[in-house]
Structure 1
C-alpha cells in the first residue's frame, strides 16, 4: 500500500470552505518511522472563535431540518466511510501507527456510529402525561442544545470523532472539532467525507492546533457554545470541567481508565488468555479500555502466565502499515519512555519479566510486548494507566479479594471477568465499580451500548440512545385542552 499524502485534506474547516487560516503549521509524523507525513495549520484563538461563529450561523437551518433529512445524510456518511474503508484504515495506520487489522476494525466501528445515529435521529421522542392533580397536561420534548465543542484524542482518531459528531448532528446540533495534534489527518478526512455526504457548510468545523488550552478555553467561554464533549485524560478533564463551569456548559467527559481483568479459577484458561490478548493489545495497549491490571487466581496463575507469555512473545512487531505486523509502535518516543520507566520501576519493586521488557532495536517508537509476573500491587504500573503493550499479572485467592483490588482506584471505566460459571461471573461483575463490564469476552465497545465510566473516569455516556440525549435538552410545556 502507498498513501498519497498529496491528496490528503490538510486545511482548517471553518464554514463554507476548507481554508488555511494560519502561517504556522504542525508536523504530522509517522510513529513507525519518524518520517513526516504532512503538515496542517496550527490554529489560533481567532480560528477557534471563527469556527464557533460558523457553527452558530449554521445552527438555525440545521436544527430546522427534519429528523428524517438528518438521518438520510448520516446514512450517506456511513456509506461513504464504508466505501473508503481501506483508504481510511491506511491513513490511521500511517499517522497513528496501529496495525492495519486494528485500523480496519476501528474504521468499521467509526462508520457504524453514522449508521446507528441515522436510525436514532428519528427517535428523539418526547412524553405526554397528565399531572397528578389533573390540573394540566405535561408535555416534554427534546431540543438540540446548540453549538458543541468536541475534543478528541489520538488513539482512535476516526472512532472518537464519529462517536461525537454523529449524535450531535442527529440531535440537530452543529459542532467544532478539535482533534489531537498527533492524528489530525483522519479527522479532516472524515469532515471531507461528511461534506460529500451532504452535511451543510458550517455544521462540522475542524480546528487543528497545538495551542489546545488557549483555543479550547476561548471557545468554551464564547456564549454561543452550549456543550462540550471531551475524550482524554482525567487531568485535562478536570481542567475543562473548571473552564466549562464559567458558562455552565453541558459536559460529557470520557476520561482515563485503569481496567482490571479478573480470571477466576474456574475460567477456561485458553479462552481467558484469548480475551485478554484482545483487551490488552488492541492498538498496542493504547486504549482507555485496555486491560491494565490482570488479577489471576493463584491456582492457575502459572498456566495463565505461561500461555500469555507465549502469545505475547510471538507477536510480530512492526510498522502499522505492514500487513504482517501484529503490534505497531506507540504514538511517540515520549510514550515509550513512560512505559519503559513503569516497567523498570515494577522490576525494581520485585516483578519478573516473563517476555519483552525492552525497546526493540529499530527505528520508530516501539516497545516489545511484555508480560510481568510477581507484580507488587502498590507498584506504579498497577496504580497508573500504562497505555502500552505491557500485561501485569497479580495473584489473588478469593473473589472478595479480587473485587476489592479491582475497585481500589479512583477510576472506573471498564472491567473484565472470566469464569466458567455465568452466575458467579455476573455476581462479581455487579460488584465492580466500572461503567462497563465485559463477561467472558475481551471487547466491550459497541455503538448500540452506552459507553462511559464512573468515579473519575467521566460523566455522561456516548453511544446508544443515551449518546443522543447528551446533545439535547428536555423542554417541559404545561398545557390544557
Structure 2
C-alpha cells in the first residue's frame, strides 16, 4: 500500500499542506505508512470557530435529518470496511481480523445513535397550582471537543461523535499521533455523507496545545476524553475554569474471577476474548486473575492449551492473533511486569519473552504466570499487554476483596454457574461494567463507563446520548 499523506480537516477544508509533517509508522515493521501536518494553536482555534458557527444550523435540523446523515455515514463505513480496516492495522498493528471487527463496532455507534436521535424526549410535569404548567425539554450541549486514544482508533471516535451529532452538537476530534489515519478516513466518510461544513473537525497537534486552547475557549461546552486517569485529572481541572461538561473514560485494572463451580471452558473462552484483543492493549481487558484453589490447576491447564494456539506476528499476515505492542515504552512496561513477577516467585507457564525486530517493532509472547500474589506489580498496575497473572484464592469473599482493592473501577469479570453466588458477586464488585460468564461485554446499546477513578459519565446506550444533552425546565402560567 502506498504511503498516505493526509491533512487536517477544518470547516470542510483539508488544511496544513505547508506545515511541518510528522510520520506515522507501522508498529509491526517500523515502516513509514503516512504523514500528517502537526496542527497549531491557530488550527484548534479555527476548528472551534468552525464548530461554533455550524452549531445553530445543525442543532436546528430535525432529528430525522440528522439521523439521515448518520445513516449515510454508517453505510459508507460498511462499504469501505476493508479500506478502513487495512489502514487501522497499518498504523496500530492490530490483526486485520480485529480491525475488521472494530469497523463493525465503530459503525454500530453511528447506527445506534442515528436511531436514538429521534428519542431526545422531554416531559410534562403537573404544576403546583391550577394556572401553572411545567415542561422539560432536552437540547444539545453545544460544541464538543474529543480526545481519543490509539488502541481503538475508529471506535473511540464514533462512540463520541455518534451521540454528539445525533443530539445536535458539533464536533472537534484530536486523535493521537500514533493513529491519526483512521480518524482522517472517518472525516472523509463524513464529507462523502454530506455532513455540512464545520459540523465535524479534525486536528492532530501536541496535547498541551489542544487542551489549553479548549480550556480557554468559552465556545466549547463539553470535553470528552478516553485515556489515562492521570491525564483525566488534569483535563478535569482545566475544564473547571469555565464549568465545561466532562466525560472521562479512564484507566482500568480489571479483575477476572473464576469460582469453583465455573464452566472452565467458558472461563477459558472468556479469557481469550478479553485478554488478547489488541494484544492486551485495551482498557477493559482482564488484567489480574483470581481462581479458586479447587479449579486452579485445571483452569491453567486448559488455558495453556488455548494460549499455545495463538500466533504472534504482523497484523496483515494471515492467521495472526497477536500483533505488536504500540511502542518501546509499552514493550518495556510489559517486560518489567513479567520480570518483577518472576523475581517475586511467579512461574512462567507459557511465553514470557519478547522480541524486538529491526529495533523498531516490539512483540511479546502471550504469557501465563502462575503463583502470583498481590505484591507483584502486574497485580497492582494495568499492564496493557498479553500477560495473564493468576493468583489462587479460597473464598468468594477473598476474591471480592482482592478485586475491589484498587482505585479503579472500569470493568470486572467473573465466572460461576450459580445464580445466587453470581448475583451477590455482581452487586459487590465496584465496577461500572461486569462480565458474568462473558469476556466481551462492549455494545453500542449499553452504557460503557467506570466507577471510582476510572471516570465520569457513560458512553453508549441511552446514558451515552444524555451526556450530550442539556435539560431545560420551563414553568409558565396561564
- Place the TM-score, normalised by the shorter chain, in its bin: over 0.9
Q: SS at 1:177's partner residue? A: strand
Deviation at 1:64, TM superposition (A): 1.0
Matched, 1:388 2:352: no
* Residues 307-351 of structure 1: CA deviation (Å, up to 9, x unaligned): 212222331100011121011011112110111011111111111
User: After the TM superposition, which of the residue ranges 467-476 and 310-319 deviates more from structure 2?
Assistant: 310-319
Matched, 1:218 2:210: no
Of 244, 253, 257, which aligns to 1:262? 257
Runs (4+) off by over 6 Å: none
With over 3 angstroms needed to count, the CA separation of the structure-2 counterparts of 1:439 and 1:473, relative to structure 1, is same
Deviation at 1:421, TM superposition (A): 1.3
Matched, 1:240 2:235: yes
Question: 1:355 aligns to what?
Answer: 350
Matched, 1:176 2:172: yes
Matched, 1:101 2:97: yes
Distance in 2 of aligned mates of 1:22 and 1:400: 61
Distance in 1 of aligned mates of 2:17 and 2:408: 39
Matched, 1:123 2:122: no
Question: 2:198 aligns to what?
Answer: 202
Q: SS at 1:354's partner residue? A: strand
Q: Is the 8 A contact 1:116 1:447 kept in 2?
A: yes
Question: 1:461 aligns to what?
Answer: 458
Of 278, 281, 291, which aligns to 2:276? 281
Of 109, 112, 122, which aligns to 1:113? 109
Matched, 1:440 2:444: no
Question: 1:54 aligns to what?
Answer: 50
Of 305, 312, 325, which aligns to 2:300? 305
Distance in 2 of aligned mates of 1:285 and 1:299: 27
Q: SS at 1:438's partner residue? A: strand
Distance in 1 of aligned mates of 2:453 and 2:105: 26
Deviation at 1:185, TM superposition (A): 0.2
* Residues 225-253 of structure 1: CA deviation (Å, up to 9, x unaligned): 10000000001000100110111100000
Q: Is the 8 A contact 1:21 1:47 kept in 2?
A: no
Deviation at 1:137, TM superposition (A): 1.7
Question: 2:370 aligns to what?
Answer: 373
Deviation at 1:102, TM superposition (A): 1.0
With over 3 angstroms needed to count, the CA separation of the structure-2 counterparts of 1:271 and 1:52, relative to structure 1, is same
Q: SS at 1:372's partner residue? A: strand
Distance in 2 of aligned mates of 1:65 and 1:234: 36
What does 1:330-349 align with in structure 2 at a 5 Å threshold? Answer: 330-349=325-344
Question: 1:189 aligns to what?
Answer: 185
Matched, 1:412 2:409: yes
Distance in 2 of aligned mates of 1:444 and 1:423: 21
Deviation at 1:135, TM superposition (A): 5.2
Q: Aligned-pair RMSD on alpha carbons?
A: 1.2
Question: 1:34 aligns to what?
Answer: 30
User: After the TM superposition, which of the residue ranges 127-136 and 241-250 deviates more from structure 2?
Assistant: 127-136
Q: Is the 8 A contact 1:22 1:42 kept in 2?
A: no
Deviation at 1:22, TM superposition (A): 5.5
Distance in 2 of aligned mates of 1:51 and 1:41: 15
